[in-house]
Amino acid sequence: MKAVTLAAVDEVAVRDVPEPRIDQPTDAVIRLRAGAICGSDLHVYHGQMGAMEKDYPIGHEYVGVVEEVGPLVRGFRPGMRVGGSFFSACGECDACRRRQFTQCQEIQLFGFGARFGGLAGSQAERVRIPHADHTLIALPDEISDEQGLFLGDALTTAYFGVRRADIEPGMTVAVVGCGPVGQLAVECAQVFGAARVIALDLVPQRLAQAEEIGAMPVLADGDAAKRVRALTGGRGADAVVEAVGSEATLNLSLRLAAGFATVSAIGVFPQPSVPILIGRAFDRDLTVRAGMANIQAEAAATRELVRAGRLHPERLVTHRMPLEDAPQAYALFARREAGKVILNV
Ligand code: NAD
Ligand code: ZN
């Protein structure tokens, strides 16, 4: 089958790789209908996750049809249309029973290489899904493939970050980073009752996109904190969602925050340690949270919000390309010349 693999730093290739098979009785194999490229894939693309094995498929945003299930899979059968989480969790260990799926002892991420469990990625014609009952998300007819693609990562990650930002109705919320995840965080903050959402980025086109969905755009340059204070009567933002994953944006988030605000970081920090303005956090009594999105616990909510027409993730799709064009698709997305890029299989 064909799959997207990392050929070199900043270069992907579409290669013929071995077909996945059912390996455990709780596995499923799905045939892809489409995949998408995520900002997290860019960390792989830029070589920040290390070298990938030869012929190792990357990618983790997918929608497809169940082709085969192992004998212990209960909730899914061949022919069902599904999306799924970007990681698999066993569903049975202590952490999973507490619904802390990101803390599963057997967690494996799709498409991030050996460091994260070595599970083959989903930018491919087929993918093996471990613990299918916990990993897959059934798609009702009212949810399109393009909407379904967002449930297993980008949208649910944004929702997770926003839910943990302690937003109360009427608050002013800042979202730092207007990539697809940040844009979706703008929408989610509105659903959580934000009176105003201030969106920050360095790329004018991305700011314009955020403005289209109702955010107040602010250029994230050296004067950003000053501008946010000017927009909020000197207070700063009542809650901040960080959706980039860098020292600069994390500390900008702290500088934007009003006293007693929560800064909820969902950006992935490729390096394990960055300096943080702890004095600022102390003076302003800030709460800072960071975390990988607990998709398995949150996706029921985002699926219902999409089904009900309250969230419109599909609006972010700017490019639809065949899987074979993955090299051009990655290059476009990496240059921030595209919103969400879909790879049709
Ligand atoms: P993206 O790369 O498309 O978006 C990042 C945005 O940040 C871009 O618009 C970029 O212009 C902006 N940016 C970069 N530096 C900036 C700065 N100094 N100030 C302001 N803006 C800046 O990626 P995405 O798909 O939107 O994902 C965003 C982040 O979320 C990535 O780090 C991704 O890895 C992460 N993510 C985390 C989880 C999770 O489980 N926590 C899941 C999915 C994605
Ligand atoms: Zn578990």
* pLDDT tens digit at each of 345 positions of the chain: 999 999 999 999 999 999 999 999 999 999 999 999 999 999 999 999 988 999 999 999 999 999 999 999 999 999 999 999 999 999 999 999 999 999 999 999 999 999 999 999 999 999 999 999 999 999 999 999 999 999 999 999 999 999 999 999 999 999 999 999 999 999 999 999 999 999 999 999 999 999 999 999 999 999 999 999 999 999 999 999 999 999 999 999 999 999 999 999 999 998 889 999 999 999 999 999 999 999 999 999 999 999 999 999 999 999 999 999 999 999 999 999 999 999 999
**CA 265 to centroid of ligand 2, rounded, Å:** 24
Q: Are residues 144 and 25 in the same domain?
A: yes
Looking at ligand 1, which residue's alpha carbon is closest to its atom 42? 157
The whole-number pLDDT of residue 342 equals 98
Give the CATH number for residue 49: 3.90.180.10
Specify whether 133 is located in the same domain as 195. no
- pLDDT score, position 272: 84
CA angle 247–253–258, rounded 5-degree value: 150
Q: Is 265 in the same domain as 163? A: yes
* Sign of the dihedral through C-alpha 6, 8, 13, 18: negative
> How many helices (H) and strands (E) are present in the chain, helices listed first?
12, 17
Question: Ligand 1 atom 5: the closest Cα is on which residue?
Answer: 179
Residue nearest atom 27 of ligand 1, based on CA coordinates: 39
Length of the chain: 345
Residue owning the nearest CA to atom 7 of ligand 1: 177
Residue 109: CB within 6 Å of ligand 1? Answer: no
What's the pLDDT at 249? 98
339 and 190 in a common domain: no
Residues 37, 140 within the same domain: yes
Q: In the listed set 290, 318, 333, which residue is the last one of a domain according to the structure?
A: 290
- Residue owning the nearest CA to atom 9 of ligand 1: 179
Tokens of 251: 């500390």
CA 285, distance to chain mean position in Å, is: 28
The residue whose CA has the least distance to atom 12 of ligand 1 is 177
Residue 102 CA, closest ligand 1 atom number:
40
Q: Which of 181, 227, 251 to mutate to test the pocket of ligand 1 (most atoms within 8 A of CB)?
A: 181
Q: Are residues 239 and 284 in the same domain?
A: yes
Q: Which domain holds residue 284?
A: 156-290
CB 244 within 8 A of CB 224: no
> Which residue(s) pair with 124 in the sheet?
3
List, edge to edge, every strand of the sheet that includes 196-201. Answer: 216-219, 196-201, 172-176, 237-242, 257-265, 287-290
CB-CB contact of 115 with 49 (8 Å): yes
Residue 102 shares a structural domain with residue 18: yes
Q: Is the CB of 73 under 6 A from ligand 1?
A: no
Q: pTM for the full model?
A: 0.97
**Count of C-beta atoms within a 10 Å radius of residue 17:** 19
Is 186's C-beta closer than 6 angstroms to any atom of ligand 1?
A: no
Q: Tell me the CA–centroid distance for residue 106 and ligand 2, in Å.
A: 6
The packing angle between helices 180-191 and 204-212, to 10°, is 30
CATH of the domain at 181: 3.40.50.720
Count of the separate structural domains present in the chain: 2
Q: Looking at the structure, tell me whether residues 9 and 97 fall in a common domain.
A: yes
CA–centroid distance, residue 243 to ligand 1 (Å): 5
Q: Is the CB of 185 under 6 A from ligand 1?
A: no
Question: Is the CB–ligand 1 distance for residue 102 below 6 Å?
Answer: no
E-strand spans in the chain? 2-8, 11-16, 28-36, 61-69, 81-84, 87-88, 108-109, 126-129, 136-138, 172-176, 196-201, 216-219, 237-242, 257-265, 287-290, 317-322, 340-344
Claim to verify: residue 92 and residue 25 sit in the same structural domain: yes
pLDDT the model gives residue 270 = 83
Residue ending a domain, among 249, 265, 290, is 290
Residues 38 and 58 in one domain: yes
For 2, what's the count of Cα atoms within 13 Å in the CB-facing half-sphere? 14
Q: Is the minimum distance from the CB of 292 to ligand 1 under 6 angstroms?
A: yes
pLDDT of residue 271: 84
Do 101 and 178 lie in a common domain? no
- Position of tokens 């909730």? 75
Cα dist. 36→65, 72, 248 in Å?
Answer: 16, 29, 27
Same domain? For 280 and 303 the reply is: no
